[in-house]
Structure 1
Amino acid sequence: MPDAALPLLCPVCCGPLSRAGVGAAAARTLSCASGHSFDAARQGYFNFLVGKGTPFEPDSAAMVEARVNFLSRGHYLPLARAVAAAVVPSLGEHPAVLDSGTGTGHYLRAVLDASAAAGRPAAALGLDISKFALRRAARLNPEALNVVWDVWRPLPLADDSVDAVTVVFAPRNPAEFARVLRPGGRLVVVTPRPGHLNIVADLTGMLGIEESKEDRLGQAMAEHFDTHSAAPVDIPLELSRRDAADLALMGPAGHHSDRESVEARLAGVPEPLQTGARFQVTVFAVR
């Protein structure tokens, strides 16, 4: 829940948000001095999207289920560890982390575990536009605050409020990330590299990765950030057809594909399917 290490702002009036009530009730309601109040859903997340919500399409329940299935089998564990290793050195005296586009909370879980193991347990805020994803995130990361929010809008956090921002396969709002990061804080961004999952992509119709993607990332960040470090993370994968279907459906292709059609394309493909995940973990420092 919000405390001195995680100063939340009301999405309506931008005033400070605090816990309302006492005891167990304090964990269920956030309110500001102007009287705006937000109650947690029964699954444990909050919805800050008031009014018209967002024009962007959130991940569906089927996409989230595919992601949970795939990630729970440990295929991307090396990536989760790499993200956590990039975050922990930036944590200060009162550690706080923003996971922007938290999804099911898989990568934030690794960060929270690593920060606790280092003796610096962090307050955390996970943002996503999918309520289906946040139901899972709230279950996986009950100590974090999990909130439905559109990251293209001003973030519901005070200036200089977090030590690290993580963005794993999610939209990036450089100006807002720079605003909420404390001096010396770090932005950790994960992007796929050319050749990522190429065999599964060809079989299932997933989109390929542009050769210029890494250059465009640096250009998009350049107004607010300098590149601190960049490291590849390559993961060889041996997948069942079920794994491959989950992998295809858990990402953007899941918005326009269904399991029946993807499994039909994979029918008869020999198991295991051998492919490779190719990521770049880039750490940025605020200019």
Structure 2
Amino acid sequence: MDSRILDRLRCPVCGEPLAQATDTKALRCPRRHSFDIARQGYVNLLTGRSPHVGDTPEMVAARADFQATGHYDVISAALAAAALDAVGRLGDTDAPQPESATAEVQPPDFGAYPLVVDAGAGTGRYLGAVLAALPDAVGLALDVSKPALRRAARAHPRAAAALADTWQRLPLADASTAVLLNVFAPRNGPEFHRVLDPAGTLLVVTPDTDHLAELVDTLDLLRVDPDKADRVAASLGGHFTLVSSAVHRAGLALTRPEVATVVGMGPSAWHTDAAALTTRLAALPEPVRVTVAVRLDVLRPR
């Protein structure tokens, strides 16, 4: 594993630093806790059995196929721009400081390699897009799905991947992270706050109310919670201050197979009857007009 990333990792059992074992494909801490590196490139930093199963191989494959078409590039572009602004701000002494900062506190020095962490990274596509915009940064994809991590481990040459449950303590040092991405994934406010540098930035992407709205009634999909923004704020408000919030939209013209893919990669995949979906899809006129609408919240630690 890249030493620039390894230096930020911590043992999920005792919190000690991790090092590459010379005799095995594993990471090991001074207390001899050992964590295997899978042949697909990700390290297993999960302790015990996670109650969250993560995305299935079918869901991950559907997501990878759909993302490869560029249909969700509006999300990648928004994240890359926000991350570039955040990392640039880290070295700006005139930038607004967190509420807890004092006049004596100087902007942190991340050295040559700011760390970008994607909590709930899935295939790692969004992390890869951010790293492409930040040539001096390194990245870490965290997810509880092994099929997702097999892809995330190859998302970018400057990225690594680790199996970890984001509801538990994250396997990272305190204040180790410059930018933390959270895209359509669970949010662990206390842990996000702990691992972010006081001048770091949390970027949260959630579906807006009209995201894929054209498909909801037609295909009987799950609806976006109209109180989603309030719930996000409640889960993070005690630890973060909202700096900005913007909705990013794009119109898509999809084939029926692409519609099936977008359904199969999201939460509706757990609740949709396959036979009924096939019947409804067959009745759709092509191209199928669909709206992508996501909210990007930019937050900083309190």
Q: TM > 0.5 between the two? A: yes
Kindly provide the amino acid, as one letter, of the partner of residue 112 in structure 1: L
**Alignment pair present for 1:108 and 2:127:** yes
Give the distance between the partners of 1:11 and 1:235, measured in 2 at CA: 40
1:258–1:113 CA distance, 2 compared to 1 (3 A): farther
Pick the aligned partner of 2:182 from 167, 174, 180: 167
Kindly provide the amino acid, as one letter, of the partner of residue 44 in structure 1: G
Shift in Å, 1:83: 0.6
Kindly provide the amino acid, as one letter, of the partner of residue 181 in structure 1: L
Pick the aligned partner of 1:32 from 26, 29, 38: 29
Is the CA contact 2:127–2:155 (under 8 Å) kept in the aligned structure 1? no
Structure 2 gaps of 5+ residues are: 91-110
Shift in Å, 1:259: 5.0
Is the CA contact 1:96–1:124 (under 8 Å) kept in the aligned structure 2? yes
Shift in Å, 1:96: 0.6
Kindly provide the amino acid, as one letter, of the partner of residue 269 in structure 1: L
Identity %: 43
Is the CA contact 1:204–1:248 (under 8 Å) kept in the aligned structure 2? no
Deviations for 1:10-30, whole angstroms, at most 9, x for unmatched residues? 1122111112228xx7xx421
Deviations for 1:210-267, whole angstroms, at most 9, x for unmatched residues? 2221122122211000001111101111111111111011011122336554233201
Kindly provide the amino acid, as one letter, of the partner of residue 3 in structure 1: S
Kindly provide the amino acid, as one letter, of the partner of residue 15 in structure 1: E
SS at match of 1:140: coil
2:85 alignment counterpart: 89
Q: Which moved more, 1:155-164 or 1:11-20?
A: 11-20
Matches within 5 A, 1:252-267: 252-257=267-272, 260-267=275-282
1:13 alignment counterpart: 14
Is the CA contact 1:249–1:258 (under 8 Å) kept in the aligned structure 2? no
Shift in Å, 1:142: 4.4
SS at match of 1:277: strand
Give the distance between the partners of 2:276 and 2:141, measured in 1 at CA: 32
Is the CA contact 1:2–1:19 (under 8 Å) kept in the aligned structure 2? no
Is the CA contact 2:80–2:133 (under 8 Å) kept in the aligned structure 1? yes
1:278 alignment counterpart: 293
Kindly provide the amino acid, as one letter, of the partner of residue 67 in structure 1: R
SS at match of 2:134: helix
Kindly provide the amino acid, as one letter, of the partner of residue 78 in structure 1: V
Shift in Å, 1:203: 2.5
The alignment's C-alpha RMSD in Å is 1.7
1:142–1:202 CA distance, 2 compared to 1 (3 A): farther
Shift in Å, 1:141: 2.7
Is the CA contact 1:245–1:259 (under 8 Å) kept in the aligned structure 2? no
Pick the aligned partner of 1:193 from 180, 198, 208: 208
Give the distance between the partners of 2:179 and 2:214, measured in 1 at CA: 34
**Alignment pair present for 1:204 and 2:219:** yes
Kindly provide the amino acid, as one letter, of the partner of residue 29 in structure 1: A
| Aligned residues between the structures | 278
Is the CA contact 2:202–2:298 (under 8 Å) kept in the aligned structure 1? yes
Q: Which moved more, 1:79-88 or 1:260-269?
A: 260-269
Is the CA contact 1:49–1:149 (under 8 Å) kept in the aligned structure 2? yes
Structure 1's consecutive aligned runs of 4 or more residues displaced over 3 angstroms after TM superposition are: 1-6, 256-261
Is the CA contact 2:137–2:158 (under 8 Å) kept in the aligned structure 1? no
Matches within 5 A, 1:143-182: 143-182=158-197
**Alignment pair present for 1:43 and 2:58:** no
SS at match of 2:11: coil
Is the CA contact 2:209–2:226 (under 8 Å) kept in the aligned structure 1? yes
Is the CA contact 1:16–1:32 (under 8 Å) kept in the aligned structure 2? yes
2:3 alignment counterpart: 3
Is the CA contact 2:246–2:296 (under 8 Å) kept in the aligned structure 1? yes
Is the CA contact 2:131–2:158 (under 8 Å) kept in the aligned structure 1? no
Give the distance between the partners of 1:111 and 1:207, measured in 2 at CA: 29
Give the distance between the partners of 1:177 and 1:139, measured in 2 at CA: 24
